[in-house]
Amino acid sequence: MSELINKKAETGFRGSLFVHASSLALLGYLYAVPQATASESDRPTVWIELGTQLERADAEQTIFAPPFFDLASPADRDVMVGSQRPSRYSIGGEGKITFAAEGSDWVFSAEVRYGRSNSARHRHHEGPQLPVEYNTYLGYLFYQYTPRVKVFGDGQTTSRESHLIVDFMAGRDVGLGLFGSHGHSTFNAGVRIAQFVSKADVSLHARPVAYAFNKYYPSLANIYVMRTRGYNALMHAERSTHAVGPSISWDASATVAGTDNGTQLSFDWGINAAVLFGRQRAKTHHETQGVYRTGAFGAATNVVDSYSYVGPDRNRSRTVTIPNVGGFAGLSLRFPNAKVSLGYRADFFFNAIDSGIDTHKNANENFYGPFANISIGLGG
């Protein structure tokens, strides 16, 4: 009898527990639906984002190396080559506007990134002066006259570079909640436009050969032979690439920490890929002058030979296909209607420019570095 009573009591308890749990779940659902709807309706429909970036700009470069490089010392060649290195960093700004329709998972955006760098480099190296030789003749001290000349290398370069990247994208949030209740995962597709422009002016000066000797009359101080070779070379180059093509990307975000007032710290990341089709252009000009001098009998000098070479102007243009891949990672501090982001981004454009001087040569354009931006949400 007691077993039946216990069984009925247990069954009644389970039934009561089920009824109460079901009631609580139903009340929770009825409460949650309006809250979620209200939250969605309060979400901004338009986001305006402004920021800046400091990027390491790596471009494969063709060094202007006239024939007299072979006569110069390694130290002199180093300064002439080093003066031609472009700026390692570019600084710029970015802007983005995003529209997310109310009650829809579709997102539309337009983004512009612009960067530029200017550099002016001057490198100079000198060898030791030619020594002042002396000897004695009949008990008197004679100083052998030698001009105070040195071998040297000198290079000066001014360069300017700019790049512009424009994206028009349409995306869909396919994973709302996949990385937490406030995370998102969005796939985007659209069009990317890229432009790369650079100019450079190079001026090289060198005296790779300079020596003096008194071969025939070592006892006479004012008789000597001096030989020097001096060179000057100039180069001007203008390069540009304009390309456009389809682009895809995946952006995701996961909440790291949050508060009751809607402030959240999130980890953001994304990858992108594109294939761009466009045209490369390169315009170059260079010239070289050389002077060979031989002097004898005191300070008298005579120009014994000289030459001047002016290369033909090169003006090349060709169609190209530019693969592009990139990605970013960073942290965002999110508020209901604002967001502050810090991160690191990289973009690699393969065969983006023609870096050749006399002949065509494909080169990559790579940009990577930190960025910071702030976003303001409107509407909702």
Domains of the chain: which residue ranges? 1-42, 44-378
CA distance 295 to 142: 20
Pick from 163, 91, 166, 153: which is nearest to 122 by CA?
153
With tokens 């994206």, the residue in question is 167
- Residue-by-residue pLDDT tens, the chain, 380 positions: 433 334 444 444 344 434 444 443 333 433 333 433 334 456 788 999 999 998 888 877 889 999 999 889 899 999 999 999 888 888 999 999 999 877 778 899 999 999 999 989 999 999 876 554 444 444 444 444 445 578 899 999 999 999 999 999 999 888 655 555 566 889 999 999 999 999 999 999 999 887 766 555 555 444 556 678 899 999 999 999 999 999 999 999 988 887 767 788 999 999 999 999 999 999 999 999 998 877 654 444 555 678 888 988 999 999 999 999 999 999 999 888 899 999 999 999 999 999 999 999 999 999 999 999 999 998 76
**Do residues 372 and 54 lie in contact, with contact meaning Cβ atoms separated by under 8 Å?**
no
**Do residues 113 and 165 lie in contact, with contact meaning Cβ atoms separated by under 8 Å?**
yes
**Do residues 295 and 147 lie in contact, with contact meaning Cβ atoms separated by under 8 Å?**
yes
pLDDT for residue 10: 41
Does domain 44-378 fall into CATH 2.60.40? Answer: no
pLDDT for residue 300: 45
pLDDT for residue 248: 96
**Do residues 146 and 130 lie in contact, with contact meaning Cβ atoms separated by under 8 Å?**
yes
pLDDT for residue 226: 64
Q: How many CA atoms lie within 13 A of 58 on its CB side?
A: 11
CA distance 278 to 195: 9
